[in-house]
Amino acid sequence: MATTLLSDVRTTATGRAADVVIEDGTIAAVLAPGAPRPVADEIVDGGGGLLLPTLVDGHCHPDKTTWGEPWLSRQPAQSLADLIDNDVRVQKQLTRSVAERSGSLLERYVAHGARAVRAHVDVAPVHGLDNVRGVAEAAAAIGPALDVEIVAFPQLGILRTPGTAELLREAVGAGATVLGGIDPLGLDGDLDGHLDIVFGLAAELDVDLDIHLHDTGETGRLQVEAVLRRTVEAGWQGRMTLGHAFYYADLTGSALADLAAATAEAGVTLATCALGGPDLALPVPELRAAGVRVVLGSDGIRDAWSPFGNADMIDRTHLLAYQLGAATDDEIEACLDVAAHAGAELLGLPHSGLHVGDPADVMVLDAECAAQAVVDRPLPRLVLRAGRVVAADGHLTPAATASTTTRA
């Protein structure tokens, strides 16, 4: 049994620093301050820093990123179709491979305190399965330091882009474990036709679903209601996520309460990316109070769609808190709960609550308390995955990708 002592860390703002004993990747004890230290194979000095769980990006697009490439000046776009056209053109111009670009992003996620990401990866005839294979290669290279869940994502639509449905089926088996969809009505033009395909493939392949839904207004309402109804009919409760789901941002009062209750009842998760732009803020506190699981993601990171994003989930948590107007410690910590725990739950990871029996998927930062960490966004001094130090001061350690790392 490998024992690591993570020494001199604080779990609360006012608490004295204590030592954490980690055995085989799991927190085995949190010692009282000043308690005698057990014999350990390794001692990691926490330096009096704050201990927090590592975070999860529940919605990102690493295959599209220009990370590490020269600056890209974005083209104006009037519609979702314009944005998609720009995206395809830019992806074809990039010189570094999907594996190289997404790999540099995955390394940055680890260095900045993430334990897992759900990656929506483009599947379309123009790309074939190249993007899925590239992200799968990058995920294999980052190894146990970061869990990477790949969603086969029909960015160009399914019905409007013949050949996509067959590629989606092939993508599951080439690295994807979740099936995506996109605006069945607004982009693909056939609500039932699109949903027939994705629900049919999900049942055939026994995979979860995660559908992008940008549409608002009446078009948004029709799609949300259809997805909730069909999720229950298919018995896919707990296995359906709606990404962005901007329609929920339209609602207030009893209309919001009714839809939130129906969403919780259908076991549908919502993934928000705290994106800028008018009227895009989901009513996260109200949704969570109604029992809806809400996860946080980055969406596109420095790609053709947006110059923003940085594979830093502490920063993304800051953006969510800022967007929601969070001010009290409780309100800010609720955003951290979304980034740490709701995302982990969606990806099927064990809860990292800093308690005995929890995985030692943790980071150590220079901050007084969790709320201050979200506001100040420090670079983690240490990032541990399953008890191993995988990053220190922004750099991956050799242990990060060592194949011998024990998974929690």
List of residues contacting Zn ion (CB under 5 A): 299
- What does the alpha-carbon distance between residue 284 and residue 397 come to, in Å, rounded to a whole number? 36
Identify whether the C-beta of residue 201 lies closer than 8 Å to the C-beta of residue 168: yes
Q: Taking the complex as a whole, how short is the minimal distance between the CB of residue 299 and Zn ion, in angstroms?
A: 5
CB of 244 to Zn ion, least distance (A): 7
Query: What kind and span of H or E run contains 368?
Result: none
Q: Do 205 and 179 contact (CB within 8 A), yes or no?
A: yes
Structural contact between residues 207 and 172, judged by C-beta atoms closer than 8 angstroms:
yes
Q: Which is nearer to Zn ion, 83 or 259 (CB)?
A: 83
Region for residue 291 given its phi and psi (left: phi exceeds 0; alpha: psi -120 to 50; beta: otherwise): left
- Asked if residues 338 and 40 have their Cβ atoms less than 8 Å apart, the reply is no
User: At its nearest, how many Å lie between Zn ion and the CB of residue 304?
Assistant: 13
Q: 301 or 400: whose CB is closer to Zn ion? A: 301
Nearer to Zn ion, 88 or 369 (CB): 88
Q: Which is nearer to Zn ion, 138 or 275 (CB)?
A: 275
Q: What is the DSSP letter of 384?
A: E
55/182 with CB nearer Zn ion:
182
8 Å CB contact between 119 and 60: yes
Angle, in degrees to the nearest 10, between helices 313-323 and 329-337: 130
CA–CA distance from 402 to each of 30, 35, 54, 256, 407 (Å)?
Answer: 27, 32, 19, 47, 12
With CA atoms as reference, report the closest residue to 242 among 265, 224, 222: 224
Instruction: List the Cα angle 61/73/150 in 5-degree steps.
Output: 5
**Identity of the residue, 64 or 133, whose beta carbon is nearer to Zn ion in the bound complex:** 64
* Position of minimal CB gap to Zn ion: 299
Instruction: Read off the amino acid at residue 132.
Output: V
Structure letter (DSSP) for residue 68:
T
Nearer to Zn ion, 151 or 364 (CB): 151
Closer CB to Zn ion, residue 23 or residue 122? Answer: 122
Assess contact for 309 and 302: CB atoms under 8 A. yes
In the complex, minimum distance from the CB of residue 155 to Zn ion, in angstroms, rounded to a whole number: 9
Residue whose CB is less far from Zn ion, 122 or 299: 299
Q: How far is the CB of 61 from Zn ion (least distance, A)?
A: 6
Toward Zn ion, which CB reaches closer, 8 or 312? 312
Q: Which is nearer to Zn ion, 60 or 292 (CB)?
A: 60
Left (φ > 0), alpha (ψ -120 to 50) or beta: where does 25 sit?
left
CB of 408 to Zn ion, least distance (A): 28
Q: Smallest distance, Å, CB 145 to Zn ion?
A: 24
Q: How far is the CB of 268 from Zn ion (least distance, A)?
A: 17
What's the closest the beta carbon of residue 126 comes to Zn ion, in angstroms?
18
Tokens of 258: 């009714």
Which tokens sit at 281? 């803020």
How far apart CA 133 and CA 177 sit, in angstroms, is 13
To the nearest whole angstrom, how small is the minimum distance from the Cβ of residue 20 to Zn ion?
Answer: 36
C-alpha distances out from residue 299 to 33, 71, 109, 111, 302, Å: 41, 19, 13, 19, 10
- State in angstroms the smallest separation of the CB of 77 from Zn ion: 15
246 beta partners: none
**Structural contact between residues 66 and 302, judged by C-beta atoms closer than 8 angstroms:** yes
